[in-house]
Amino acid sequence: MRDAAVRVRGGVLGGAGAVALLWAAQVRPSARPDALFATAAHLTGLLAGYGVLVLLFLMARIPAVEHGVGADRLARWHALGGRYVLLLCFGHGLFALLGYAVHEQLDVVSALRELLGYPALGAALAGTALLAAVGVTSARAVRRRIPHETWRGAHLLAYPAAALGFGHQLAGPDLAPVAWFWALAHTGVAVPLVWYRAVVPVRQALRHALRVAEVRVEGPGVVSVVMRGEHLAELCAEPGQFLRWRFLRRRLWHTALPFSLSAPVRGDTLRITVKGLGGHSRRIRRLTPGTRVLATGPFGALTAARRTRPQVLLIAGGVGITPLRALFETLPGGPGDITLLYRAGAEEQLVLRAELEAIAAERQAGLHYLLGPSGAAYDPLAPQALAALVPGLAEHDVYLCGPPAMAGATRSALLRAGVPAGRIHSECFTF
């Protein structure tokens, strides 16, 4: 996984370097203020256009990239890259405006009024406004206050924004000598984007014909959804992975959300276990048998392939038990090789408890419930507590899944307890 991340990161940075070389090859040295502003506008514009391509590539759901890098890491890179792209877009617009104002000897307001008369510049402004809307809804303070469906809908604005920006770039005289290369780069991203985000989901829906078979209550606000379909072995879905699910019923069909498999694929059956954290996930409790389901994937790298040691520790927090429950059942190992720690606020919040205890008994695996409020004086996930509970902790591979705050604190505790960072495997999402 680390090698894949290094390759992708190196490719992205290498592409940025190539764009900078493209800009340098066209620079005409000049000390005039208007020329300096124009040169800066050219560089920031090229990098902004390239950055948009990178953002689309990271979210194209290309299986080799998602499995190799990890969907959570790609999401973090996407979020960080989005900030840089917005800064580059604003920088490009500011430098272009100042350059034009100096060249035409106009004040900034008059220069802006004249520039907006050019259709290509109007398109660029509209595209930047759409990207800004995406950025605003992704800001942490805003994101907490809006439904997930609204956030996802706002993110769709990135596609028309990219199209408007592409038209603006091709209309610019600075790009004319390499317009063919720029168009080829956009095509190289657009094709896998359309294929994996549109064609593959439709093909999978027709091939697997998934329908809800049963919805059963697992605990307060938690349900399991059992689905049946055809040719499910072709999905090659591994324990620990997730799919993006779209349930074709009113108020659910328009949004696809990622949920991990809470049990291995068995014959014609898939199962997810969902906690009602938002409006969309809460509506899943009201699904009825026979509801058609579109599933895209599998995605994620929290699988047995990341294992490097005979002994494995699984640490789950809350509904983060779902992917780890599947791994608890399927990870190869003899008696005592697999241990599961399950953190929850109270006993009634334990999900899939009967299944976990049956698996532990059958496999002679360790199973410990760590109960109590997160703010209690005693922290069962502190370094000393973990080391006392799991002998030889530093020699284990650790799989970690839970709420972001819990996962971050537990990762720090594991590092302090001597577990190397390369043996702590986690994927963490916030919705």
CA 405 centroid distance within chain: 17
Both 88 and 118 in a single domain? yes
Compute mean pLDDT per 10 residues along the chain, 431 residues long, and list them.
78 88 78 84 87 88 80 82 89 85 83 76 78 80 73 77 74 60 83 88 87 87 90 89 86 78 91 75 80 86 87 89 92 91 87 92 91 78 88 91 86 90 78 43
Any domain includes 384: yes
Q: What is the pLDDT of residue 278?
A: 59
Q: Give Rg (Cα) of the chain.
A: 25
Question: What residues pair up with 269 in beta bridges, in sequence order?
Answer: 228, 266
- Picking from 272, 299, 326, the residue at the C-terminal end of a domain is 299
Any domain includes 431: no
298 cis-preceded (ω within 30 degrees of 0): yes
- Picking from 202, 218, 240, the residue at the C-terminal end of a domain is 202
Give the whole-angstrom CA distance, residue 237 versus residue 258.
Answer: 14
Q: What is the pTM of this model?
A: 0.73
Supply the range of the domain harboring residue 242.
Answer: 209-299
Both 249 and 382 in a single domain? no
**Residue 348's CATH number:** 3.40.50.80
Both 161 and 282 in a single domain? no
Both 121 and 151 in a single domain? yes
Q: What is the pLDDT of residue 310?
A: 92
Residues 6+ apart with CB under 8 A from 424: 398, 400, 411, 414, 415
Both 274 and 385 in a single domain? no
Both 265 and 346 in a single domain? no
Both 294 and 343 in a single domain? no
Instruction: Copy the structure tokens of residue 148.
Output: 């997930």
Give the whole-angstrom CA distance, residue 225 versus residue 401.
Answer: 20
**Residue 214's CATH number:** 2.40.30.10
Both 286 and 348 in a single domain? no
- Picking from 150, 168, 202, the residue at the C-terminal end of a domain is 202
Domain count, the chain: 3
Give the whole-angstrom CA distance, residue 162 versus residue 351.
Answer: 43
CA distances (Å), origin 122, targets 114, 186, 266, 372: 11, 21, 55, 57
Q: What is the pLDDT of residue 161?
A: 81
